[in-house]
């Protein structure tokens, strides 16, 4: 999907050799037509997987997850992030560190929107260390739901997230892979 590479080169701001600011494309503004096109691509890749729900985490994953879910004709569930755990027995909860925010948060999914009858496609915008994605995988395990695979728009392959998910035997698909942000330059795989 060269269109996403072009947009990243156009709008991305390399903040460090670890972090690419994508506010104008993903984290603060989105192009709905582009998101629909990319959602169609994920739907095409996972069409045969009998997905019953798409799962993401608020907030920046919601746009691409919505587009994918619309194409697959299934509901979108987005996990909520909370700073403190509300002791509510009706939610699945996992504690995860956040790379960009430097804090620990609890991610929550209500038991009313996820069950052992579900076969789930995880969709997210960017994967770095993979803490959020692994937290969502643990929630699916505890719910007894099947995980069909993980799709992300941008994989940073110099960080461990995507590799650790593939090493768990989980199908992992990304639209673009960034292998380096060294010297202020975005280098794709």
* Contact pattern from residue 95 through residue 124 relative to ligand G4P, giving x for each residue in contact according to CB under 6 A and a dash for the rest: ---xxxx-----------------------
- For 161, how many CA atoms within 13 A lie in the half-sphere containing its CB? 30
Residue 69, marked binder = no
Out of ligand G4P, Na ion, none, what residue 83 binds, judged by CB under 5 to 8 A for its kind, is: none
Closest CB to Na ion among residues 97, 144: 97
The total of other beta-carbon atoms located within 10 Å of residue 88's CB is 10
98 phi and psi, to 5 degrees?
-120, 125
Residue 128, marked binder = yes
Residue 25, marked binder = no
Q: Which of 39, 149, 151, 161 binds ligand G4P (CB under 6 A)?
A: 161
* Contact pattern from residue 8 through residue 47 relative to ligand G4P, giving x for each residue in contact according to CB under 6 A and a dash for the rest: -----------xxxx----x--------------------
Query: What is the rounded CA–CA span in Å between residue 58 and residue 129?
Result: 17
141 phi and psi, to 5 degrees?
-60, -45
Residue 153 in contact with residue 38, Cβ under 8 Å? yes
Q: Running DSSP on this structure, what letter comes out for residue 24?
A: I
Q: Which of 94, 118, 124, 131 binds Na ion (CB under 5 A)?
A: 124
């Amino acid at each position: 999907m060269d269109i996403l590479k072009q947009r990243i080169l156009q709008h991305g701001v390399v903040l460090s050799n670890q972090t690419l600011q994508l506010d104008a494309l993903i984290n603060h503004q989105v192009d709905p037509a582009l998101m629909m096109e990319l959602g169609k691509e994920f739907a095409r890749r996972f069409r045969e997987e009998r997905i019953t729900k798409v799962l993401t985490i608020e907030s920046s994953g919601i746009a691409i997850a919505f587009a994918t879910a619309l194409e697959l004709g299934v509901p979108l569930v987005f996990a909520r992030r909370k700073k403190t755990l509300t002791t509510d027995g009706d939610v699945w909860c996992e504690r995860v560190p956040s790379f960009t925010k430097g804090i620990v948060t609890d991610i929550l999914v209500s038991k009313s929107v996820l069950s052992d009858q579900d076969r789930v496609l995880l969709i997210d915008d960017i994967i770095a260390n993979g803490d959020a994605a692994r937290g969502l995988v643990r929630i699916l395990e505890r719910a007894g739901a099947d995980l069909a695979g993980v799709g992300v728009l941008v994989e940073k392959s110099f960080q461990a997230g995507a590799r650790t998910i593939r090493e768990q035997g989980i199908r992992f698909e990304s639209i673009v892979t960034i292998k380096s942000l060294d010297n202020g330059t975005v280098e794709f795989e």
